[in-house]
Amino acid sequence: MNGRSALLAHQSACRACHVCVDDGIIPEATPTFEGRWGAPFFLVGQAPGPVERESRRPFSGRAGKELDRWMLRAGFESPEEFRRLTYIAALMRCFPGRNRAGSGDLKPPPAAVANCAHWLDAELRILKPRVLILVGQLAIARFLGPGRLEDRVGRRFGKGPVMVPLPHPSGQSRWLNDPANRQRLTIALTLVGQLRLTLAPASVSRSNSDGGPEQPHRARRAATNAIRRQT
Ligand code: SF4
């Protein structure tokens, strides 16, 4: 079986998964992920929310709108281009439910994350992404171990794949209220933009020849400056 077929078989099996329902962790299984064979980027999030539970499309709610804005800042031509180049999955692929106060979503229970881990591991094996975009503390800790967001966001880690941590775009966290952290996010998005320029040059040159926005040039300059500041 080639890689593309292996991915399709994997996705089909994952969509039918209901082990967390069988274990009494959630009342309903709605495995949510999206992506295609050949995507050089792989975004790992925390868990889908109630909007994604209905749409079955990752980051289709308010946090997704913010993520789209971030990726435009990084230099992607459009949210569609970002999704074309990025496989999107989460540590827990089904909606974990709302908290008792109804003020937010539950964090993914460790048992569900453990149940779900093999789906993520298999996708990483099949796709061999060049870049992992780690969104939120849980996803960052899964790959880099525990640590402060301040020490992670704005830096890149590893080589194969390169890992770029981001805060969660849900707006529930106050982390981005601090200007220093907003600057860290800007640097992180610049790093993502630089990797996009390296991994998807055809798409960039198409944008330029179409008379499209000058964003890629700006991203390249900003990326160079950010890397200089890091070294
Ligand atoms: S969270 Fe993951 S392991 Fe649990 S039912 Fe959904 S897809 Fe399956």
- Listing DSSP states for 63-129 in one string gives HHHHHHHHHHHHT-S-HHHHHHHEEEEESS-S---B-TTSSSBPPPPHHHHHHHHHHHHHHHHHH--
CATH number at residue 200: 3.40.470.10
CB 90 near ligand 1, within 6 Å: no
Containing structural domain, residue 209: 3-230
> For residue 227, how far is its CA from the centre of ligand 1 (angstroms)?
38
Q: Whose CA is nearest to atom 3 of ligand 1?
A: 116
Instruction: Encode the chain (231 residues) as per-residue pLDDT tens digits.
Output: 899 999 999 999 999 999 999 999 999 999 999 999 999 999 999 999 999 999 999 999 999 999 999 999 999 999 999 999 999 999 999 999 998 888 888 999 999 999 999 999 999 999 999 999 999 999 999 999 999 999 999 999 999 899 999 999 987 779 999 999 999 999 999 999 999 999 976 554 454 433 333 344 444 454 445 444 443
Residues 6+ apart with CB under 8 A from 73: 186, 189, 193
> For residue 189, how far is its CA from the centre of ligand 1 (angstroms)?
30
What does pTM read for this prediction?
0.87
CB 60 near ligand 1, within 6 Å: no
Q: Which amino acid is at 134?
A: L
How many CB atoms within 10 Å of residue 178? 11
Tally the domains of the chain: 1
> For residue 77, how far is its CA from the centre of ligand 1 (angstroms)?
33
The residue assigned the tokens 């569900």 is 112
CB 20 near ligand 1, within 6 Å: yes
> For residue 155, how far is its CA from the centre of ligand 1 (angstroms)?
31
